[in-house]
Homo-oligomer: A and B are copies of this chain.
C-alpha cells in the first residue's frame, strides 16, 4: 500500500501519457514517446489521438510533434486559481521579492506534502515557475515545517505518519520525535528555518499563513544559498514575511474560503 497506482482503466493510461508529454517539456515526436512508454505502438497511438481530439494535446502535423493543448491550459487556469492562495498572494509575493531581492516561494499543504503553488525569483526573472507546481516533503523544508508547526495534534499525527523521513543531508531531521521538538521551537519563534535540510547549500526562512482560527492554509518562504546569504541575513526579513503572510490570510479570508477552514 506504499506506492499505489494500478493505473486503473483507460483514463489512467491516458493521463499517464498526458503527463509524459507534459514532463518532456517540449514538443515530442511519436517515437520518442513510444520509447519511454511501455504501451504497444497501436495503443499509444490511439491514446494520443484521443487526447488530441479532446484538445488536451495539440498535434502539429508539420513537425509531427505533440505538445500540451488548449483545453489543458484552460483547466490549468482553473486549477491554479482554485488552488486558491496563488492568485490572492501574487501581489504580496511580488512585493516581497522586490523588497528582499531574494526568491520567494508560496506553498500549500496537500496530503502531508508540500505543494509549491508559486515562485518568484527577483534576480533571474526568466526561470520563475520552473519549479512551481512541484511537490516536496514537509519534514525537511522551511514551508513544510512552518505549516506543520501549526497543525492541530490530531492532524499532525496523521501527517507525521505520511512522512517518509529520508536523510537528504547531514542536517535533515529524520525522526518524528526530533521533528516534534523542532516544531515546538518554530511555534515559539513564529517562523521556521531550513538549515540545508533538504538540499545542501540551500537555506530558507519560512512562515505559515494562518487562517483566523489559526489553521495553516499555506506557507511563505524566502530562499537563498549559503554562498549568497546566511540564516541571519534571511532572518532579517522574517517580519516582512510575517507581515505578508498576515495580509494574504486577510485577503483569503475576505475573498472566499467559507468552509474548510
A78 at the interface (CB under 8 A from B): yes
A126 at the interface (CB under 8 A from B): yes
Residues of B within 8 A of A128 (CB): 87, 90
Q: Which of B63, B129, B260 makes the CB contact (< 8 A) with A87? A: B129
A3 to chain B, nearest CB (A): 12
- Assembly stoichiometry (copies): 2
6 residue pairs A–B, Cβ–Cβ below 8 Å? A15-B54, A75-B75, A77-B129, A78-B133, A90-B125, A126-B255
Which residues of chain A from 125 to 139 have any CB-CB distance to chain B below 8 Å in the complex? 125-126, 128-130, 132-135
Residues of B within 8 A of A79 (CB): 22, 68, 72-73, 75-76
Q: Mark A50-84, 1 if CB is under 8 A from B, else 0.
A: 11011010001001000110111111111111110
A14 at the interface (CB under 8 A from B): yes
A32 to chain B, nearest CB (A): 14
Instruction: Tell whether, in the assembled complex, residue A126 and residue B251 are in contact, meaning their CB atoms are under 8 Å apart.
Output: yes
Residues of B within 8 A of A23 (CB): 78
Residue on B nearest A63 in the bound complex, by CB: B259
Q: Mark A99-113, 1 if CB is under 8 A from B, else 0.
A: 000000000001100
Instruction: Tell whether, in the assembled complex, residue B78 and residue A11 are in contact, meaning their CB atoms are under 8 Å apart.
Output: no
Q: Which of B51, B83, B87 makes the CB contact (< 8 A) with A68? A: B83
Residues of A whose CB lies within 8 Å of any CB of B are 4, 8-12, 14-15, 18-19, 22-23, 25-27, 47, 50-51, 53-54, 56, 60, 63, 67-68, 70-83, 87-88, 90-91, 94, 110-111, 115, 117, 125-126, 128-130, 132-135, 251, 255-256, 259-260
Residue on B nearest A12 in the bound complex, by CB: B54
Instruction: Tell whether, in the assembled complex, residue A133 and residue B76 are in contact, meaning their CB atoms are under 8 Å apart.
Output: yes
CA distance A132 to B77 in the complex (A): 7
Instruction: Tell whether, in the assembled complex, residue A8 and residue B50 are in contact, meaning their CB atoms are under 8 Å apart.
Output: yes
Instruction: Tell whether, in the assembled complex, residue A50 and residue B11 are in contact, meaning their CB atoms are under 8 Å apart.
Output: yes
Instruction: Tell whether, in the assembled complex, residue A125 and residue B259 are in contact, meaning their CB atoms are under 8 Å apart.
Output: no
Residue on B nearest A74 in the bound complex, by CB: B133
Instruction: Tell whether, in the assembled complex, residue B8 and residue A10 are in contact, meaning their CB atoms are under 8 Å apart.
Output: no
